[in-house]
Amino acid sequence: MISGLLQILLFQGLGEIISKLLLPFLPGPVIGLVLLLLWLLYLKDVNASLAMVGDAFSRYLGLLFVPAAVGIILFIPQLQNNALTIVTALIVSAVLSAFCSALVLKWLSPKEGQEK
């Protein structure tokens, strides 16, 4: 289990270094996660220690939503004052996301008479 935790911390540390030196607009943990994913794709296997740590973390993933829920409760007056703006932004962003996804799907799908 220690080996799996060290692997996760190593890739997060590499991500932080890359974030500070090369890509300051991306968070280090995100870069580290992508590096870990690429490493696992290269190996084509997940060792038992890393799998055990990942399983242990995923059991408690729901706890990460507690601070967000507390923040929502804390800012209910501001949310109520700006409800129309928030709902409008959510609806517009959902429609735009669906529209952009449809355009990308159309662009990526094979054309008539084109081989796969």
- What's the pTM value of the predicted model, to 2 decimals? 0.58
Using CB atoms within 10 A of its CB, is residue 32 exposed (0-12), middle (13-18) or buried (19+)?
buried
Residues 45 and 1 in one domain: yes
Residues 72 and 99 in one domain: yes
Residues 38 and 91 in one domain: no
| Domain of 11, in residue numbers | 1-59
Domain count, the chain: 2
pLDDT digits (tens, 9 = 90+) for 55-96: 988 898 888 888 888 888 999 999 999 999 999 999 999 999
pLDDT digits (tens, 9 = 90+) for 22-55: 988 889 999 999 999 999 999 998 888 999 998 9
Question: What 8-state DSSP symbol labels residue 116?
Answer: -
- 50 contacts 7 by C-beta, under 8 angstroms: yes
- What is the C-alpha to C-alpha distance for residues 55 and 17, in angstroms, rounded to an integer? 26
pLDDT digits (tens, 9 = 90+) for 93-116: 999 999 999 999 998 888 776 665
Residues 47 and 80 in one domain: no
| 3-class secondary-structure state, position 7 | helix
The mean pLDDT value for 8-21 works out to 94
CB proximity list for 32: less than 8 A, separation 6 or greater:
11, 12, 13, 14, 15, 16
